[in-house]
Structure 1
Amino acid sequence: MKVLILTHKNDAPPFIERVAAEIRSRGAEPVVFHLNDFPVKATITFGQESDGEWFLFNGHAIGEGDAIWGRRYHQGVGFPEKMHPGHKQMALAESDRFLHGALAACPAFKVDAYARVRASDHKPLHQRIFREAGIRTPRTLGTNDPAKARAFLSSCPNGAIVKMLSAEPFVKDDGKLQVVMTSEVRPETAERLEQLRLCPMYFQERVEKAFEVRATVFGTKIFAARIDSQQVEGADVDWRNKGLAMIDQWRHHDLPRHVEDALGRYQEAMGMQYGAADFIVTPEGEHVLLEVNPAGEFFWLEANPPHHPMVAALVDVLVGAPGARRRTIQTDNARSDPLF
């Protein structure tokens, strides 16, 4: 059995090797494919004939009985400097369509199918499904209408936060990447609401926090960890602002059964094996769902406290260990599932 790991060269090489080593320990062969090398330095080839089909990634045949882990996707680099910008854009678009067409047709088991990851990466959808399962979510308004935003903000006596639905960074004048974190709505924010005409935003009523929880799903296993974000200045609105400073402060957390069941049902409904869910826990102990990241990071929760055995759980799913793969409402048969 082969396990194809789709990633890029800057994606935490020690972590990727840790996963590859775990795959080898199960008697399977890891195949690391750097997508930033495709199409200039790496090759993908597929053939479909009347008597069958085949798929090659850098010469490695991947097919039924194998698995693919879509760890990170990356646009190809290394095109000739003299290449016309229009031709480069066309080549990148064709390479992207070619890659995802090959992955969609390949019958290997996937964690997770690219189409499912894209289809599930929507915060409003997460909140609707969890509310239907009886899990509270924050009062929310998404809009590009300044008047609607003002009315919503005035209805939030405990304040509100604002966030973006995409994780798209931008390049500052000094060349550094800037990621927009979740922020508190302040008077100066409210004064600039007319700018919503240029870009919609996502507002939520502020929920009082006792602490925050990251619950990570690998097939049938769920690991939950808590962080006391309210105890660190600058982390109260978005713990990621102080993520490195707090990296050794995560602790194991036992999810209530009804929350764990709701998370499992969500994964099954979306046809997903992996997910990283973020919750606020109120002073009264209620778990409030924020979002489920279909491709969120998890390695820090194994490398640091609470040292959850996440890589082993991931590889269990990839190699098909007994009971590791979650049965989904959407069929698990890759050949009959159009999302594959």
Structure 2
Amino acid sequence: MDGRPVLVSTQHEDATADLVITELNRRRVPVLRLDPGRDFPASAILAARLGSDGWSGRLTVGERSVDLGAVRALYHRRPNIYTADDDTQEARFAAQENRRGLGGVLGALPACLYLSHPQAIARAEYKPAQLAAAHRVGFTVPATLITSDPLEAKAFAAEQPTVYKPLHAAAYDVDGEPAGIWAAPVQPGELDETVGHCAHLFQALVPKSCDVRAVVVDDRVFCARITAPLGVVDWRAEYRNLRYEAVECPEQIRGSLLAFLAAFGLRFGAFDFAVTADGTWWFLECNPNGQWAWLEAAAGLPITAAIAELLQNGEPSRDC
């Protein structure tokens, strides 16, 4: 591959990454795509040497190979985790060696822009850290309780209308079919001893008039108003009945968005806000690797071009 390549680390089937790769191809930027958790070491070969200028050597995937020292950017999308081939001690050991070997080298490339750095993404996925950072950068944040105490949960829900939210959007199956766990209202009488089985996040229900998703690519902010049917708490449960409209981001919100990303060392974030009738934007969460492709078409937001431009021309990343 001639020229400085972009590495795209994601699953083999990722329609969102496909859009960015197509745009990079249009710009004649070399791209090497891999899923480290699945491709290595079966179909990928790593040969990295440490020198005074950092890591150099080759990463080869199939018939394509790149010079690690020449990588201009790593687009860390949604790769599979490094998993053991079986349940033996040797396989588990090998999976961890792969994670720290290939993953460690990919996280320490010289003169490489990270969108975003894998370690920064991992830190930012913790909602307690997100909510604390949101307060610090000036966002308005709903009253929140994280607890495993049923009595605390009941008392909180008795104080104001309350919703339950999962702390992590992990895969969940119902009757063998994939399902989402959406934010949902809860009443004090529904909260029993099962609260004690794990940590739960409860939050004051925001009396919103609409939602906004703000997608931030480095210092560029793209916002879409999302209008759901009356009474819908979590718009993700009503994809077929949503209306979208591109909206301007208030300057104060924009400043807080950039400060939030800087606090975690991120170059990308998909933020969700509930907006009340008085125009207040209430911070709900930030997905440091959130989806955005459907918004581009629905609201006319040029996010693909912004990401490709950053990967093509951006400066090396801030320290993670």
Q: Is the 8 A contact 1:213 1:280 kept in 2?
A: yes
- Give the Å deviation of 1:76: 5.2
Q: Provide closer, same or farther for how the CA distance between residues 8 and 55 of structure 1 changes in structure 2, counting only shifts above 3 A.
A: farther
Secondary structure of 2:75's aligned partner: strand
Equivalence for 2:89 = 86
Cα distance in 1 between the residues matched to 2:208 and 2:202? 17
Q: Provide closer, same or farther for how the CA distance between residues 54 and 126 of structure 1 changes in structure 2, counting only shifts above 3 A.
A: same
The percent identity for this pair of structures is: 28
Q: Is the 8 A contact 1:3 1:29 kept in 2?
A: yes
Question: Are positions 1:147 and 2:148 aligned together?
Answer: no
Q: Provide closer, same or farther for how the CA distance between residues 57 and 175 of structure 1 changes in structure 2, counting only shifts above 3 A.
A: farther
- Give the Å deviation of 1:122: 2.2
- Give the Å deviation of 1:265: 1.5
Equivalence for 2:23 = 22
Equivalence for 2:169 = 167
Find the partner of 1:48 among 43, 47, 50.
Answer: 50
Equivalence for 2:12 = 9
Equivalence for 1:97 = 100
Find the partner of 2:75 among 69, 72, 87.
Answer: 69
- Give the Å deviation of 1:50: 6.0
Equivalence for 2:142 = 138
Q: Is the 8 A contact 1:162 1:184 kept in 2?
A: yes
Question: Are positions 1:259 and 2:253 aligned together?
Answer: yes
Equivalence for 1:241 = 237
**Residues 291-310 of structure 1: matches in 2 within 5 Å?**
291-302=285-296, 304-310=297-303
One-letter amino acid matched to 1:166: H
Equivalence for 2:207 = 208
- Give the Å deviation of 1:307: 1.9
Q: Provide closer, same or farther for how the CA distance between residues 165 and 102 of structure 1 changes in structure 2, counting only shifts above 3 A.
A: same
Q: Provide closer, same or farther for how the CA distance between residues 147 and 52 of structure 1 changes in structure 2, counting only shifts above 3 A.
A: closer
Equivalence for 2:32 = 31
Secondary structure of 1:215's aligned partner: strand
Secondary structure of 1:147's aligned partner: helix
Q: Provide closer, same or farther for how the CA distance between residues 176 and 224 of structure 1 changes in structure 2, counting only shifts above 3 A.
A: same
Cα distance in 1 between the residues matched to 2:39 and 2:83? 6
| TM-score when normalising by structure 2 | 0.89
- Give the Å deviation of 1:85: 3.4
Q: Provide closer, same or farther for how the CA distance between residues 50 and 140 of structure 1 changes in structure 2, counting only shifts above 3 A.
A: closer
Equivalence for 1:185 = 186
- Give the Å deviation of 1:252: 0.4
Cα distance in 2 between the residues matched to 1:267 and 1:77? 30
Q: Is the 8 A contact 1:211 1:230 kept in 2?
A: no
Q: Provide closer, same or farther for how the CA distance between residues 3 and 212 of structure 1 changes in structure 2, counting only shifts above 3 A.
A: same
Q: Provide closer, same or farther for how the CA distance between residues 52 and 76 of structure 1 changes in structure 2, counting only shifts above 3 A.
A: closer
| Deviations 1:21-54, CA, capped at 9 Å, x for gaps | 2113333211111332222222233122467631
Cα distance in 1 between the residues matched to 2:153 and 2:215? 33
- Give the Å deviation of 1:57: 2.5
Q: Is the 8 A contact 2:158 2:188 kept in 1?
A: no
Q: Is the 8 A contact 1:160 1:203 kept in 2?
A: yes
Q: Provide closer, same or farther for how the CA distance between residues 121 and 76 of structure 1 changes in structure 2, counting only shifts above 3 A.
A: closer
Cα distance in 1 between the residues matched to 2:134 and 2:173? 35
One-letter amino acid matched to 2:22: A
User: In angstroms, what is the RMSD of aligned CA positions?
Assistant: 2.3
Structure 1, unaligned runs of 5 or more? 326-331
One-letter amino acid matched to 2:78: R
Cα distance in 1 between the residues matched to 2:131 and 2:11? 31
One-letter amino acid matched to 1:68: L
One-letter amino acid matched to 1:242: E
| Deviations 1:108-131, CA, capped at 9 Å, x for gaps | 211111111111222222222332
Secondary structure of 2:89's aligned partner: helix
Count of aligned residue pairs for this structure pair:
311
One-letter amino acid matched to 2:218: G
Secondary structure of 1:105's aligned partner: coil
